[in-house]
Amino acid sequence: MIPRKIKNRRWTVVTALMVILSALSTASAQVTLGGGRGHLRLHDAEPVPCGDLYINGFYSVFLKTVQRTYYESGGEISGKQEELVADHTLNLSLTAGLSRLLEIYAHAVPYQDNQRDIWGPIGDTRLGFKVRIPHQGSPLQTGFAGFVHFPTAPMHNVPYESYSADACGWGLMGLATLDLRATAMALPFKISLNLGYRDMDWKDRYFSARNDQLLAGIGFKLPVKSSLIYWETTGEIFINQSDRISLRQNLIRMSPGVRFVGPGRLIFDVAADLRMGNYLPGDADARANPFLKEYAEWKIILGVTYRAQLFNRLAPEERAKSLFEEKERQKAEDIRKQREQINKELEALRKKVQQGQEQPPQ
């Protein structure tokens, strides 16, 4: 006989494990800063679950002290003063899973500092999609993602942010995700790799414009209890500027972060951007080459995501499992009815035998 306390402890452990597994599955399916399932900016090959809608907002901040020089009307220097420069950005995105192989997403920037106006204007808008190429039973999943970029911001190529152009553009990326949990090593890692191309202006010649970029990134995810730790390195590299811009002068950043599930079905992100390359262009360099700019050396990023379910469409394997379970339930129900009928017949026979025994002999 198992004591009641031990039983209660077992149920508590099982319940806690179910909560943790549910939290990990929800967090691992979380979307990026710009929409689409992945890390912070890096995309996974898998889409979000079919029928799920993710609504997320990310806030980022960068601070820096600069030396301001003030001039008199005659052009003489009147004084110098240190000032604090702040760069605040708000990102909003929607991601919806239409099937187990397809997701769509939309990204907007409601607020973006331009270092000119007191209140920053809106930024650009992006619409995208992701398609997974199925590999049944393989730990390596592949796919591709594409997007269209719309110049909704009144000012482009703002300080401390990624390079942007006042034109409609597009991009296409190849995606690969290796799930080491499904390998012989059985490690709790998921490694993702992105490689693609972005055309800043769809009216110019493809792959030959001066502002065309290579999009690249690699990163991993690691679950720790009810949280998810991720680390990625992403780059936006000018492919036709190698004669004027070295690799370290492009925007290459390393972004560690942690993701955890909070109350009310909310998922929280705390992450950071760390600029790699240690390059700061001078005023003369920036004037000589418009593609050289000062990017943010670091950023603190905070995000919150809400997950809702639009509809419930089962995958083929889930549908087969559900059909099998339904057949098993039907078999169990038929067996129960047969037992009830047999019990009724036995009860009727018992009553007849009992009545025959009670009647006196003639």
- Same domain (yes/no): 200, 342: no
Asked whether the predicted pLDDT for residue 280 surpasses 70, the reply is yes
For residues 330 and 294, membership in a common domain is answered with: no
List the one residue out of 198, 203, 201, 235 whose CA is nearest residue 219.
235
What's this model's pTM, rounded to 2 decimal places? Answer: 0.76
What is the pLDDT, as a whole number, of residue 109? 97
Co-location of 68 and 174 in the same domain = yes
Residue 355 has pLDDT above 60, yes or no: yes
- Return all residues near 156 (Cβ < 8 A) that are at least 6 apart: 124, 164, 165, 166
Q: Same domain, yes or no, for 325 and 307?
A: no
b/e per residue 250-270 (b: at least 16 CB within 10 A): bbbbebbbebbbeeeeebbbe
Whether pLDDT at 28 is above 60: no
Residues 111 and 129 in one domain: yes
79 has a pLDDT exceeding 80: no
Give the span between the Cα atoms of 59 and 111, in whole angstroms. Answer: 10
pLDDT at position 56 is: 96
| Statement to judge: residues 305 and 325 lie in one domain | no
Tell whether 111 and 247 lie within a shared domain.
yes
Is residue 359 very low, low, confident or very high in pLDDT (cuts 50, 70, 90)? low
- What integer pLDDT is reported at residue 327 of this predicted model? 81
Considering the domain architecture, whether residues 220 and 273 belong to the same structural domain is answered as yes
- Give the C-alpha distances (Å, rounded to integers) separating 160 from 39, 200, 207, 251: 22, 18, 26, 10
pLDDT at position 328 is: 81
* Beta partners for residue 299, in sequence order: 273
Q: pLDDT at position 315, please? A: 58
Instruction: Answer whether 153's CB lies under 8 Å from 123's CB.
Output: yes
> What average pLDDT does the segment 59-87 reach?
80
pLDDT of residue 201: 93
Q: How large is the average pLDDT for residues 39-43?
A: 96
Q: Indicate the range of 22-26, 144-148, 238-242, 334-338 predicted with least confidence.
A: 22-26
Q: What is the pLDDT of residues 155-173, one digit of tens each?
A: 999 999 999 999 999 999 9
Instruction: Identify which has the larger pLDDT, 329 or 193.
Output: 193
pLDDT for 180 beyond 60: yes
Between CA 42 and CA 213 the distance in angstroms is: 16
Mean pLDDT of 216-226: 92
Do residues 249 and 133 share a domain?
A: yes
Residue 278 lies in a domain: yes
Report the pLDDT value the prediction gives residue 360, as an integer from 0 to 100: 65
Quote the percentage of the chain above a pLDDT of 70: 85
Scan for tokens 């003063």, then name that residue: 81
Both 50 and 166 in one domain: the answer is yes
Query: Which residue type, as a one-letter code, is found at position 107?
Result: H
List, for residues 96-117, the tens digit of each pLDDT value: 999 999 999 999 999 999 988 8
Domain count, the chain: 2
* Enclosing domain of residue 347: 318-354
Asked whether residue 2 is domain-assigned, the answer is: no
Q: What is the CATH number of the domain that holds 99?
A: 2.40.160.40
Q: Specify if 350 maps to a domain.
A: yes
Pair (198, 264) in one structural domain:
yes
Consecutive H or E run containing 298: strand 298-309
362 part of a folded domain: no
Q: Look at residue 360 and tell me if it is in a domain.
A: no
Tell me, yes or no, whether 361 lies in a domain: no
Q: Is residue 322 in a domain?
A: yes
Range 275-288 average pLDDT: 82
DSSP structure class, residue 236: E
Is 4 domain-assigned? no
Residues 82, 51 share a domain: yes
Q: What is the mean pLDDT of the chain?
A: 85
pLDDT at 16 over 80: no
